[in-house]
Amino acid sequence: MSNRSQAHETVPKVQDFPDTGTPFQIRVWKALLQIPRGKTITYKELAKKVGAPCSIRAVANAVAANPHPVSIPCHRIVRSDGGLGGYSGPGGVEKKRLLLKREGVLSDLSR
């Protein structure tokens, strides 16, 4: 394996950003790091993963507050109705759509 591919596969750690976010937000961001490339989960599923199944909106707000949307892959969270939801990173929802397409999740950019 080349150094370049090793660097690409390095999973970022939330502890690299200890001075940002509330304990709840950091818990959500740690859960985001567990979603493999090429997979998506819903905000509802993420809420269950962080032990807050009735706090879907709070989880969505924590996802939106992610200060490192490239390092902590919030683009892998989608709505329960099949919609993409939002994306707070540069480029907004169009960038989210492109990231998911690049990961093989979306085949149709018009969706």
Integer-rounded Cα radius of gyration of the chain: 14
Q: Which amino acid is at 101?
A: K
Q: Is 74 a catalytic residue?
A: yes
Could you say which of 74, 77, 99, 100 is catalytic? 74
Calculate the CA 7 to chain-centre distance: 19
Contacts of 100 (CB under 8 A, 6+ apart): 40, 75, 76, 84, 106
- Residues recognised as catalytic: 74
